[in-house]
Amino acid sequence: MGIIRVTVFLVLILTGLQGCKPEVKPVPDPLFHILSSEDPDITRVMKEPEKFEVQVIYTRIKRSDEQVVFEDHYFREAADDYFYPASTVKLPIAVLALEKLNEIDSLDRNTRFYIEGDTLETTFANDITAIFALSDNAASNRLLEFLGQDDINRRLLAKEAGPVRISHRLGDPSERLTTRPLILYLNDSTLTPSRAINNKPALALNLKGIEKGVGYVKGDSLYHSPFSFALKNYYPLRTQHEILKRLVFPDQFPKDQQFSITKEQRHFLLQSMKTLPREAGYDPGEFHDSYGKFFIYGDSKKPVPGNIEIYNKVGYAYGTLTDVAYIRDKENKIEFLLSATLHVNENGIYNDDEYEYEETGIPFLAALGRGVYQFEQQQQKK
């Protein structure tokens, strides 16, 4: 401590002697600086980050001569500290559906299909749009039937982004290991079924926090024991962050770690990610701009300004909220990657629909996003 104090003292003396330059205080850890904010929505959570199971990753993006450099900052990020990823798994499922379509000459994203035993006709493009505009579970589950859990996991692990295990559908109590065939329209009159895919049963996860709370509701009964996530989806925050990096900045990674999609498909996917519900034709009175945008705007129903683009996927279930985003202000040339998750379940009971999303979770993520954006603004002025 003595050395640090002397150093600071000398710097202050030198600054005073120079006289002509104002003191510029460096920020050694931008994320710690932002999380130390006096904003009540941040301090409420940061007083007890362990209780709220907070994890944050913030990547500053620096460009020079068409080169991109990532400056990563982490807070409590740990792949072995389990949180439920909820709908964030829909992003890789959407990307991998496009990847698989490229391997089948007779199909593209505009191919019409329906699931065997169902009557709803759709297209891969429509389902991907619905995944990002409204986080549609059924749309994501249809793409899972196309891919199968084993293939999803194989493809994701090949990207070397980190550990991952997709084991189940969303909003569907079914534990089927065999997918249902897709009935595909090869043209207006020719239909062909895809084959059913057999998947391996999921192995129980052995991670910190894999059992949570003091009870859970099942049917009409309350069970007084921790709720187990051992067979649930596993998609750690750093893996999510790295997957988004590979999608937004593919050229920064080796070819075998990139997604095998075309530039046009990537453009379509990114457009889907940033599209607001009103831009996709949904009623803005029911689905306001921040419906799937927690960072910066999650606690507001006001329209997102036209200069701000948010390419992201959120997830919330079982009291856990997560947002993984690339945020760009195209007018002010601000851009950064931000991923965060926290857990809000004060009573420790699961499946009772009593979670503090609106009171604590979303306000924290919104304030965090604003804090990072404001920090980037300040850095530009220096």
Domain ranges in the chain? 26-381
- Mean pLDDT over 361-373 rounds to 98
Residue 6: half-sphere exposure toward Cβ, Cα within 13 Å? 3
Q: In 3D, which of 93, 134, 86, 131 has the Cα closest to residue 322?
A: 86
Residue-wise pLDDT tens digits, 311-322: 999 999 999 999
The first and second tokens of residue 192, run together, are: 């062909």
> What is the pTM for the complete model shown?
0.91
The first and second tokens of residue 124, run together, are: 């891969």
User: Would you state the torsion angle of the CA atoms of residues 244, 124, 153, 273, taken in this order, to the nearest 10 degrees?
Assistant: 10
Distance set, CA 255 to CA 70, 159, 160, 235 (Å):
18, 9, 12, 23
What pLDDT does residue 27 have?
Answer: 66
What does pLDDT average to over the chain? Answer: 92
Residue 13 scores a pLDDT above 90 = no
Residue-wise pLDDT tens digits, 275-327: 999 888 889 889 999 999 999 999 999 999 999 999 999 999 999 999 999 99
Looking at residue 90, its amino acid is K
What pLDDT does residue 26 have?
Answer: 60
* pLDDT classification of 5: cutoffs 50, 70, 90: very low
b vs e for 28-63, b when ≥16 Cβ sit within 10 Å of the residue's Cβ? eebbeebbebebebbeebbeeeeebbbbbbbbbbee
How far is it, in rounded angstroms, from Cα 302 to Cα 366? 13
Residue-wise pLDDT tens digits, 170-217: 998 888 999 999 999 998 889 999 999 999 999 999 999 999 999 999
What pLDDT does residue 25 have?
Answer: 57
CB-based contacts of 154-158 (< 8 A; 24+ apart in sequence): 155/96, 155/99, 156/92, 156/96, 156/239, 156/243, 158/256, 158/257
Q: What is the CATH number of domain 26-381?
A: 3.40.710.10
- Mean pLDDT over 216-235 rounds to 97
What pLDDT does residue 50 have?
Answer: 98
What pLDDT does residue 14 have?
Answer: 31
